[in-house]
Amino acid sequence: MHELSVANEIINIASQYLPDNSGRVKIIKLKIGTLSNILVDSLIYCYEAAVKNTLLHDSTLVIERAPIIINCKNCLEEILLDVIDNVCPNCGSIDIEVTGGDEMQIVEIELYDKPEE
């Protein structure tokens, strides 16, 4: 639901990496966790709307989904999951801690080779 706020933050951060007035951002690579409550299609839609009339107008988001990571306190395994069922898939314990999967990170920014003529 807050994908527009997130899109605006991405624009704010990525704008800081424009080398000068002629530099242009081509791709912004994001890592979005499965538990982040972000709908990827909606984020792309909001980004495309928000980025118009900014220096990033011809940039594209590339989104990598980050898996859920749980640490089981019973069998001491660290397990990566796409879907969480609130029990350890290894031993069935409910004594698990979710240690990853809610990240929203800008991983890297790729610039166009040549400035626009």
Partner 1 sequence: MSIITIERKVLEKNDQVAEQNREIFRNKKIFVINMLSSPGSGKTSIIEKTIEMLTGKVKIAVIEGDVQTDLDAQRISKLNIPVIQIVTNGACHLEANLVRDAFDKIQNTGSDLLIIENVGNLVCPAAYDLGENEKVVILSVTEGDDKPLKYPAMFRKSDYLIINKIDLIPYTNCRLDTLKSNALKINPKLHIFETSCTTSEGIEEWCCWLINKVSSH
Which member of 15, 37, 74, 99 binds partner 1 (CB under 8 A)? 37
State how far the alpha carbon of 53 is from the alpha carbons of 25, 43, 45, 48, 57, in Å: 14, 18, 15, 10, 6
Helix axes 3-15, 40-51, angle to 10 degrees: 50
Position 109 contacts partner 1 (CB under 8 A): yes
Residue from the set 1, 21, 52, 53 that interacts with partner 1 by CB under 8 A? 1
DSSP 8-state class, residue 37: -
The minimum distance between CB 88 and partner 1, in angstroms, equals 12
CB of 74 to partner 1, least distance (A): 12
Q: Which of residues 44-103 bind partner 1 (CB under 8 A)?
A: 84, 86, 94-95, 98, 102-103
C-alpha–C-alpha distance, residues 23 and 56, integer Å:
10
Hey, is 110 helix, strand or coil?
strand
How far apart are CB 53 and partner 1 at their closest, in Å? 21
- Minimum gap (Å) between residue 57 Cβ and partner 1: 19
Rounded-to-integer distance, Cα 58 and Cα 52, Å? 8
Return residues touching partner 1 (CB under 8 A). Answer: 1-2, 5-6, 9-10, 12-13, 17, 30, 35-37, 84, 86, 94-95, 98, 102-111, 113
